[in-house]
Amino acid sequence: MPTFTTSDGTDLYYSDWGTGQPVVLSHGWPLSSDAWAVERKLLADHGYRAIAHDRRGHGRSAQPWNGNDMDTYARDLAELIDGLDLRDVVLIGHSTGGGEVVRYAAQHGAGRVAKVITAGAVPPVMVQSESNPEGTPITAFDGIRAGVLADRSQFFQDLSLPFFGFNREGATVSQGARDDFWRQGMLAGIQAAYECVKAFSETDFTEDLRALDVPIFIAHGDDDQIVPIAAAALKSIELVKHGTLKVYEGAPHGIFGDYQQELDRDILEFIRG
């Protein structure tokens, strides 16, 4: 099982498939790189080198007590990319991973990053405030933390419904997708699962978005119940210099079904363009 050790001694799992231009994928909370399994195979099959890691505290990576914050996540990603000496990198991030790749590209990626792709990403900032009235109230994130502490197994099962939009009328519910969400979530350590809520909800990426000097493709479903589009993609596109926004009608937060198929086609097209 390939791993690398960060500068603070944390062992992180990663996969490295295929050859060609490197594409580095970062997953959402509370998942692992398995969330990108289909995309990793797709990219490798199309002549790219697909690399994805399990964020510290998640998946098969170590579970340190400290470092469950966005600056450390971005530094971990930087150390992986530097350690593999990757160049002309395309970054892809979903949800929390979207924040991670934006911060990495803005603060660490000079001379290495070619393009950025985000899907259902948390930037600019999720939590509601006077300056961000479209954001999600802090009480919602307090509820997530409470769910993680009280019974995270049941909480992750329940969360899978809005995550994939399976709670919408007429939705075709995949028990397999729900089970895999639960499986990945339960691999996350309770400390990382708890502290990452603050990282994804309260980190302000405004200046990171402004600093990006490479093309960015911002994908977002207009029925995203986890990261509502009004406080996320619709604001991010106004902050970046070289951005393309695509809104996926009726798409949820989780990358699944018709949304996944369309997004995967768009990912390949954007990378090639």
Q: Which amino acid is at 260?
A: Q
How far apart are alpha carbons 51 and 14 in whole angstroms?
7
Residues labelled catalytic: 95, 224, 253
Here the tokens at position 2 are 């390939």
Q: What residues contact 231, with CB distance under 8 A and at least 6 apart?
A: 124, 125, 126, 128, 132, 134, 135, 136
How far apart are alpha carbons 48 and 51 in whole angstroms?
9
- Starting at the edge strand that comes first in sequence, how are the strands of the sheet with 89-94 ordered? 3-5, 11-17, 49-53, 22-26, 89-94, 113-119, 216-221, 243-248
Q: What residues contact 51, with CB distance under 8 A and at least 6 apart?
A: 14, 15, 16, 17, 22, 23, 24, 25, 80, 84, 86
Here the tokens at position 151 are 């019974």
Here the tokens at position 214 are 């490479």
Contact 9, 17 (CB under 8 A): no
How far apart are alpha carbons 273 and 269 in whole angstroms?
6
Of 18, 13, 91, nearest in space to 50 by CA: 18
